[in-house]
Chains A and B, each alone.
Chain A
Amino acid sequence: GAGVSQSPSNKVTEKGKDVELRCDPISGHTALYWYRQSLGQGLEFLIYFQGNSAPDKSGLPSDRFSAERTGGSVSTLTIQRTQQEDSAVYLCASSLQTKYEQYFGPGTRLTVT
């Protein structure tokens, strides 16, 4: 079946612009996660959604970052007024439930110039 998909695969934007990153999880997966990975680094947790519960936003680095998940499926990560330090690969993952194995999308490489 289809895996986790993300779009766009690459995004170049100017400093100060807003960007939206999209994630389509595996159908039926109730948990959805966003991570950020800078070059040569590990994964930095940003936010996760579990079913209809309030999302855990504890990893969002600033109030410029927000995310929503509509209808328990597709999720959008929005970064407002982008800064150069936002440049990274943004990874989305989904799982049947939290604490289960996670299935990752290919990521969106964001470059802020």
Chain B
Amino acid sequence: SQQGEEDPQALSIQEGENATMNCSYKTSINNLQWYRQNSGRGLVHLILIRSNEREKHSGRLRVTLDTSKKSSSLLITASRAADTASYFCATDGGSEKLVFGKGTKLTVNP
């Protein structure tokens, strides 16, 4: 079964608005990662947050992690049309491999 589940499945916003995507997982983790995928091909790593961290920033990205609720959120501020992509969370579930969710498809309208 999926370790990480993103919510919502799809999100459509206007350029300049903020986009928030959520991820829930089931088992204990060492870290949680967020990736972006354009056009159904290779994924690009965005940010890694460790289990002992609660918040992390990278440019317009802000990731939070709540291990008590087994959930994480990815916030993209001041969105741009170029942010249109699918976003995936991935967790290690305490093992050596990452397990990816099905992703959130984000559309940013100009």
Residue numbers of A with Cβ under 8 A of B are 4, 33, 35, 37, 39, 41-43, 45, 48, 50, 56, 59, 89, 91, 93, 98-107
Contacts and interface: CB of A to CB of B under 8 A. Distances in A.
Nearest to B4: A42
Which bucket holds chain B's interface residue count? 20 to 34
Contacts of A89: 40-41
Contact of A42 (B42, B45, B102): B102
A37 B88 contact: no
B101 A42 contact: yes
Given A37-B40, A42-B102, A89-B40, A103 B45 contact: yes
A6 B33 CA distance: 23
7 contacts: A4-B42, A33-B98, A35-B100, A43-B90, A101-B45, A102-B33, A104-B43
A91 B42 contact: yes
Interface in B34-63: 35, 40-45, 48
Interface of B: 2, 30-31, 33, 35, 40-45, 48, 88, 90, 92, 96-103
A56 B97 contact: yes
Given A43-B88, A102-B43, 9 more contacts: A4-B42, A33-B97, A45-B99, A48-B96, A50-B96, A89-B40, A91-B43, A104-B35, A107-B42
Contacts of B33: 101-102
A99 B99 CA distance: 11
Nearest to B103: A42
A101 B42 contact: no
A35 B94 CA distance: 19
